[in-house]
């Protein structure tokens, strides 16, 4: 039986001796050498995902002006940020669009710009127009502010995403006879295509299905910088049905994550537009999984053939909340570019980038190997029915 | 025999002239209209594939230009801005001509310019706005 502690793994990382592989590389290793031998060798398995994650955004402290101001409406490049907090604090959400955007008045709307794009431009070092208005008070007399800001000018800016890194997600299809414009992309009529959005075998929560090593304080790769898991994310559903290997076959766990925006890069935070739906932000996340024992290794060695996603009809079942699933398909089938739904062969396309997910897992691997990224033991792990039962 | 795709821009004044007819009858060109958006008395554009003998080809194009039609080779039209592309693959289910394809198992997206028919579906379907129409 192999047993390792976080401290032992970190000591090996500091000494430059840690054996780190990606969640893609570990699968053939386990197949060839078996669980015990591989668990004795491998210390850390890195994961990665890069996809549209709507529940994302950033908190800003915009700095006090003279005279001071309690901002009640804040716009950054015409996109409104929430100000129901302290005087010059605001939260800019990734899916917010300018008030002037025609949205879906001419259908399908283009949604060329929004909160996600503002965040991308800020981390790229670009200037952003800040407009603020206020009612004015004795302590905060100023009523209007117009200026140009850069990320470096802002006293604090941190990404705080309430729901990221979904553990599994729906495959969207369209059974109706008209084109659908959804957050799952364009779905052509009569099963014209199938869109999915997960890195499968590289995806963080698929590699630790019961969240044995992920929880509050887990240090992660976030948007090109460093971040932390702060909580289970919104809609976290650990009770979702699972396969024999423990991985959920429906959307299940989610993460709330935080990190300093100033260390991030526009390569890993990208504003995106979904025709007829709205804007979002693609977020890059990578989580290192410590190989504490054979069980953790077994979880990380899962491959696309053993991971299944539910196929959902976005013309009826999803919008009406009926929950009817048309079937399960493996990520290996999805990645082949063709799946079978209701007996028909359907072209499958991803919305998340597997190529970038792999890059993230590689970057994280290199950082850990160089001793530039240490693992943290969570203060407590995410809510999991396996933990609760135990 | 020459064969090439062009984007034609018609000023409002000439959109009602039967250019296709002239190209076929007077210049012996084969005209394959890939896409056209031409409305009476408004500016219009069309993507066409012309094929014919070298001289006819040249003269046919000169004729169009002499009538105020702007002619651009199609290559200038749809561009893939690689830096903006996240290699997601969303476009691969949308592109009708196989010009945007996923290479497996690398899972990288490739733009095959010569297969592009300039339908422009990808322009708004690409979430990262990595596909552009350039003039
Ligand atoms: S949809 Fe856009 S970003 Fe995604 S692969 Fe195609 S061109 Fe690249
Ligand atoms: S313009 Fe049409 S044919 Fe050309 S790449 Fe885009 S979708 Fe494909």
Spans of chain A, pLDDT less than 70: 386-390
- Is B101 within 8 Å of chain A by CB? no
Q: Residue A326 in contact with residue A344, Cβ under 8 Å?
A: no
ipTM, two decimals, is 0.92
Sheet containing strand A288-290, edge to edge, reads A20-22, A44-46, A288-290
Taking 90 as the threshold, does the pLDDT of residue B11 lie above it?
A: no
pLDDT band with cut points at 50, 70 and 90 for residue B34:
confident
Site of tokens 């919104």? A234
- Is A274 within 8 Å of chain B by CB? yes
Return the residue of B nearest to A337 by Cα.
B102
Tell me the nearest-neighbour CA distance from B84 into chain A, angstroms: 9
- Residues of A involved in catalysis: 139
pLDDT digits (tens, 9 = 90+) for A312-333: 999 999 999 998 999 999 999 9
Torsion angles phi and psi, residue A170, rounded to 5: -65, 150
Return the residue of B nearest to A354 by Cα.
B107
**C-alpha span between A82 and A149 (Å, rounded):** 18
Indicate yes or no: pTM above 0.90: no
**Which positions ≥6 away from A270 have C-beta within 8 Å?**
A116, A120, A281, A282, B86, B128
Which stretch of DSSP H or E encloses residue A381? none
Domains in chain B (CATH in brackets) are 2-73 (3.30.70.260), 77-134 (3.30.70.20)
Tell me the nearest-neighbour CA distance from A350 into chain B, angstroms: 5
pLDDT band with cut points at 50, 70 and 90 for residue B135:
low
Tokens representing residue A186 in the block: 């364009």
Report the nearest-CA residue for atom 7 of ligand 2: B95
pLDDT band with cut points at 50, 70 and 90 for residue B43:
confident
Higher-confidence residue of B114 and A57: namely: A57
Average pLDDT over every residue of B54-66? 89
Return the residue of B nearest to A188 by Cα.
B94
With an 8 Å Cβ cutoff, are A356 and B94 in contact? no
Site of tokens 């915009």? A62
- Is B110 within 8 Å of chain A by CB? no
With an 8 Å Cβ cutoff, are A273 and B106 in contact? no
Ligand 1: residue of B103, B128, B132 to mutate (most ligand atoms within 8 A of CB) is B128
With an 8 Å Cβ cutoff, are A355 and B93 in contact? no
Q: Residue A203 in contact with residue A167, Cβ under 8 Å?
A: yes
Taking 70 as the threshold, does the pLDDT of residue B26 lie above it?
A: yes
With an 8 Å Cβ cutoff, are B90 and A351 in contact? yes
In whole numbers, what is the pLDDT of chain B averaged over residues?
A: 88
Q: Which atom of ligand 2 is nearest to the CA of B77?
A: 1
DSSP letter at B12 equals: G
Ligand nearest B92 Cα, by number?
1
With an 8 Å Cβ cutoff, are B94 and A193 in contact? yes
Residues of A in contact with B105 (CB under 8 A): 335
Site of tokens 């009826």? A316
Roughly what angle, to the nearest 10 degrees, separates helices B19-27 and B54-66? 150
Ligand 2: residue of B100, B125, B133 to mutate (most ligand atoms within 8 A of CB) is B100
Ligand 2 interacting residues, C-beta cut-off 6 A: B 78, 94-95, 97, 99-100, 116-122, 131
Give the mutation candidate from B81, B86, B105, B106 for the A interface (greatest A CB count, under 10 A).
B86
**C-alpha span between A171 and A357 (Å, rounded):** 18
With an 8 Å Cβ cutoff, are B93 and A52 in contact? no
Q: Give long-range contacts, CB 8 A cutoff, 24+ apart: A139-145.
A: A139/A68, A139/A70, A140/A67, A140/A68, A140/A69, A140/A70, A140/A87, A141/A67, A141/A68, A141/A69, A142/A65, A142/A67, A142/A68, A142/A69, A143/A69, A145/A65, A145/A69, A145/A71
Q: Residue A116 in contact with residue A42, Cβ under 8 Å?
A: no
- Is B128 within 8 Å of chain A by CB? yes
Nearest to A339 by CA among A303, A357, A358, A312: A312
Q: Is B28 in the pocket of ligand 1 (CB under 6 A)?
A: no
- Is A184 within 8 Å of chain B by CB? no
pLDDT value of position B76:
58
Residues in chain B: 135
DSSP track, A38-68: HHHH--EEE--EEEE-SS-EEEEE----SS-
């Amino acid at each position: 039986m192999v047993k390792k502690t976080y401290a032992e793994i970190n000591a090996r990382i500091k000494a430059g001796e840690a054996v780190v592989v990606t969640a893609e590389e570990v699968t053939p290793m386990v197949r060839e050498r078996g669980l015990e031998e591989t668990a004795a060798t491998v210390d850390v398995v890195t994961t990665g995902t890069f996809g549209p994650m709507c529940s994302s955004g950033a908190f800003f402290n915009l700095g006090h002006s003279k005279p001071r101001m309690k901002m009640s409406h804040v716009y950054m490049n015409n996109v409104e940020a929430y100000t129901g907090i302290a005087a010059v604090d605001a939260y800019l959400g990734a899916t917010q669009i300018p008030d002037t955007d025609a949205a879906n008045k001419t259908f399908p709307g283009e949604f060329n710009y929004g909160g996600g794009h503002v965040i991308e431009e800020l981390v790229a070092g670009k200037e952003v127009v800040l407009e603020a208005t206020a009612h004015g008070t004795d302590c905060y007399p100023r009523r209007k502010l117009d200026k140009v800001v850069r990320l470096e000018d802002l006293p604090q800016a941190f990404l705080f995403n309430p729901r990221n890194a979904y553990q599994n997600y729906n495959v969207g299809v369209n059974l109706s006879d008209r084109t659908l414009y959804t957050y799952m992309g364009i779905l052509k009529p009569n099963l014209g295509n199938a869109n999915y959005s997960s890195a499968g075998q590289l995806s963080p929560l698929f590699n630790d299905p019961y969240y044995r090593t992920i929880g509050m304080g887990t240090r992660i790769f976030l948007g090109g910088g460093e971040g932390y898991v702060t909580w289970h994310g919104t809609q976290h559903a650990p009770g979702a049905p699972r396969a024999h290997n423990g991985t959920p076959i429906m959307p299940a766990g989610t993460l709330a994550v935080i990190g300093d925006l100033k260390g991030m890069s526009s390569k890993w935070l990208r504003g995106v537009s979904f025709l007829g739906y709205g804007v979002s932000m693609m977020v890059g996340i990578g989580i290192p999984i410590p190989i504490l024992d054979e069980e953790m290794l077994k979880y990380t060695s899962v491959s696309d053939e053993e991971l299944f996603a539910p196929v959902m009809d976005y013309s009826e079942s999803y919008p009406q909340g009926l929950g009817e699933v048309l079937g399960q398909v493996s990520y290996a089938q999805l990645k082949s570019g063709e799946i079978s739904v209701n007996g028909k062969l359907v072209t499958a396309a991803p919305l998340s980038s597997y190529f970038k997910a792999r890059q993230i897992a590689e970057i994280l691997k290199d950082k850990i190997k160089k001793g530039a990224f240490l693992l943290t033991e969570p203060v407590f792990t995410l809510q999991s029915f396996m933990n609760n039962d135990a | 025999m020459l064969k090439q795709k062009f984007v034609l821009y018609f000023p409002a004044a000439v959109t009602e002239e039967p250019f296709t007819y002239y190209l076929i009858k007077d210049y012996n060109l084969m005209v394959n209209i890939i896409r056209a958006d031409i409305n009476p008395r408004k500016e219009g554009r069309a993507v066409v594939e012309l094929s014919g003998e070298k001289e006819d080809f040249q003269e046919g194009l000169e004729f169009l230009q002499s009538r105020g039609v702007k002619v651009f080779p199609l290559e200038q039209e749809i561009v893939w801005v690689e830096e903006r592309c996240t290699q997601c693959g969303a476009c691969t289910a949308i592109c009708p001509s196989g010009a945007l394809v996923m290479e497996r198992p690398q899972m990288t997206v490739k733009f095959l310019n010569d297969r592009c028919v300039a339908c422009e579906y990808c322009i708004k379907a690409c979430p990262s706005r990595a596909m552009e129409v350039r003039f």
